[in-house]
Amino acid sequence: MQAAKGWELHQMDDIMPSCTAPRCWFAKLAAALTGYGFKQSYSDYSLFIYEAQHTQLHLLVYVNDLIISENDGTVVQQFKDYLSRCFHMKDLAKLKYFLGIEVARNSDGIFLCQCKYTLDIISEAGLLGAKPTGTPLEQNHKLALAANSDLRDPGQYRRLFMQQPKDEHWEAALRVVRYLKGNPGQGILLRSDCDLKLYAYCDSDWASCPLTRQSLTGYFIISGNSPISWKIKKQHTVSRSSAEAEYRSMATTTCELKWLKGLLSTLGVMHSDPTHLYCDSQAALHIVANPIFHERTKHIEVDCHFVCDEIQNGAIHTKYVHTSMQLANIFTKALGK
């Protein structure tokens, strides 16, 4: 939103917190902010919003690091002075580096990347002179806990293979680092001409877990042309069909969309039109269009009613997208170039 509105971003850091307990520190900071006139967001308790006539300040807190966005340079300086009187604050001026993320601004928008962090990882792995690879994982490659058990998500290495890693797992991890070496400065551009409309893609990988046969949920949400939210997660229950797995993925994505809309509404960005939710499963879309199949869907009734209610309320609109155009595929499948 700040990129689309052209607001400046500032960073401050409390170099000497007055409270050692994190909760006490946050409570003291929240009291100081509300005393200044900020309101705490119900969607994200680390977000504070200040509005006075034509002036707006948005403040995001992470431990003792603060990001401030503003549309009035004079007011933000007065607020910085107030914080400095309340705490031992260090003004880091314009936001350039935060939690390993480099922030650069130009006429096109705000560019986010992790070049320095990526190069540090490559150096620690001893692969500065290695040849880059084009993909993080070989297409259709199977990693095994035992014979014939597969794993497609590189992000699950640490969770599943830390106790009994094999040479194959180490080579797969190094391949991810070599993939990063190919373009360490690649990042995300939050465009200044973004219309702030939300679009969502959801996908699943049915029965992909080699141990439990639980499916994977993956979703990808963009605002205009800029990605703002994505996730891959193992589903909590075993799905009996690919359609069921896709529908559960759709419900998870709908939850995220509902939260994002609530968060954006607190920032003054309203979405009156339904958000397009793209799915490549005709069977799952058929369940959405015909929720009366009680015998087939009674074991997932909660998800069914939740998605259908959001459709009837005008919050989302489900649409079919061909698998070749399904952006969420990159989170659930090991794809080639």
Instruction: Give me the DSSP letters along 197-211.
Output: -EEEEEEEETT--TT
- pLDDT tens digits, one per residue of 237-293: 899 899 999 999 999 999 999 999 999 999 888 888 999 999 999 999 988 887 666
CA distance 183 to 27: 42
Look at residue 149 in the predicted model and tell me its pLDDT: 44
Q: Is 177 found in the same domain as 85?
A: no
CATH of the domain at 296: 3.30.420.10
Residue 127's identity, in one-letter code, is: L
127, β-bridge pairs: none
Domain-located, residue 337: no
Check whether residue 132 and residue 99 sit in a common domain. Answer: no
Element (H, E) at 229: strand 226-234
Question: Which CATH number belongs to the domain containing residue 48 in this structure?
Answer: 3.30.310
What is the rounded distance in angstroms from the CA atom of residue 334 to the CA atom of residue 65? 37
User: Does one domain contain both 97 and 165?
Assistant: no
Instruction: Look at residues 159, 182, 205 and tell me which one is the last residue of a structural domain.
Output: 182
Of all residues in the chain, the percent with pLDDT exceeding 90 is 54
CA dihedral (98, 101, 106, 107) positive or negative: negative
pLDDT of residue 25: 84
Asked if residues 110 and 189 have their Cβ atoms less than 8 Å apart, the reply is: yes
- Please check the confidence at residue 160 and state whether its pLDDT lies above 70: no
Q: Are the CB atoms for 121 and 318 separated by under 8 Å?
A: no
Dist CA 197 CA 245 (whole Å): 27
User: What is the SS3 assignment for 225?
Assistant: coil
Residue 94 sits in the same domain as residue 6: yes
pLDDT band at 311, cuts 50/70/90? very high
Amino acid of residue 230: W
Q: Do 13 and 82 sit in the same domain of this protein?
A: yes
Residue type, 333: K
Domain boundary among 131, 155, 182: 182
One domain, residues 217 and 305: yes
Model's pTM, two decimal places?
Answer: 0.86
Q: Is residue 336 part of a domain?
A: no
Is the same domain home to 309 and 221? yes
Residue at 187 is within a domain: no
Instruction: Give 3-state DSSP helix, strand, coil % of the chain, rounded to 5.
Output: 35, 25, 35
List, in sequence order, every residue forming a beta bridge with 319; answer none if it has no partner: 278
What pLDDT does residue 63 have?
Answer: 85
Q: Do the beta carbons of residue 236 and residue 220 sit within 8 Å?
A: no
User: Is residue 265 in some structural domain?
Assistant: yes
Report the amino acid identity of residue 276: H
Domain with 261, as residue range(s), is 195-331
| Residue at 256 is within a domain | yes
Q: How many whole angstroms separate alpha carbon 205 and alpha carbon 281?
A: 11
Instruction: Please tell me the predicted confidence (pLDDT) of residue 150.
Output: 45
Least confident of 14-18, 177-181, 194-198, 268-272: 14-18
325/212 same-domain check: yes
Are 122 and 143 part of one and the same domain? yes
In this structure, the answer to whether residues 176 and 201 fall within a common structural domain is no
Last residue of a domain, one of 182, 216, 237: 182
| Angle 238-240-246 from CA coordinates, rounded to 5° | 85
Domain total in the chain:
3
304 with 230, same domain: the answer is: yes
Q: What is the pLDDT of residue 13?
A: 86
**Any domain includes 160:** yes
Distance CA(288)–CA(308), nearest Å, equals 6
Residue 188 included in any domain: no
| 189 within a domain of the structure (yes/no) | no
Check whether residue 176 and residue 211 sit in a common domain: no
Strand partners, 277: 200, 318
pLDDT digits (tens, 9 = 90+) for 126-137: 999 999 998 888
